[in-house]
Structure 1
Amino acid sequence: MRWGETIAAVLVSFVYGLAPFVTSTLTGVLLGACGAFWLLLTISDEPTDKNAPTVTPIHLLVCFYWVVALVATALSPVRQHAISDFINLTLYLLLFALCARVLRLPPFRNWLLVLYLLVSLVVSVYGVRQKLFGAAQLATWVDPESPLAKNTRVYSYLGNPNLLAGYILPAVILSLIAIFAWRGTARKALAATMLVMNLMCFRFADSRGSFIGLALASIVVVLLLRYWYSESLPKFWRTWLVPILLGSFVTLFAVAFGVSEEFRLRIVSIFAGRGDSSNNFRINVWTAVFQMIRDRPIIGIGPGHASFNKVYPLYQVPRFSALSAYSIILEITVEMGFIGLGVFLWLLTVTFNTGWLQLRQFRRIHSTDGLWLIGAIGSLVAMLGHGLVDTVWYRPEINTLWWLMVGLVASYWTLQPSHTNQEISPNPQPAAN
Structure 2
Amino acid sequence: MKAKKHLSFSSLRKALSEQFYNIEEHRQETKTRYSIHDTMMSGFACMFFQDPSLLQFQRRLKAVQKRDNLRSIFGVKEIPKDSQMREVIDEVESEALHPVFKEYLFRLQRGKQLRQYEIFPGLYLCSIDGTQYFSSKSVHCPNCLTTNKKGEITYSHKVLQGAIMHPKMKQVIPLMAEEISNKDGTEKQDCELKAAKRLITKIKKDHPRLGLIINGDDLFSREPFITEVLAKGMQYIFVAKPKSHQFMKEWIEAYDELPSMSLRDKKGRIHLYEWVNDIPLKGDENSIRVNFFRYKILSSDGKVNYSNSWITDLEITQNNIVTLVKAARCRWKIENECFNTLKNQGYHIEHNYGHGSKNLCFNFYLLTLLAFYFHQILELTDRLYQACREKFGSKRHLWENLRVYIRIIVFNSFEHLLDFALDPEKYNLASLSP
- State TM-score, norm by structure 1: 0.28
Q: Which has the larger radius of gyration?
A: 2
Larger RCO (CA within 8 A; separation ≥ 6)? 1
- State TM-score, norm by structure 2: 0.28
Determine which structure has the larger helix proportion and give its number: 1
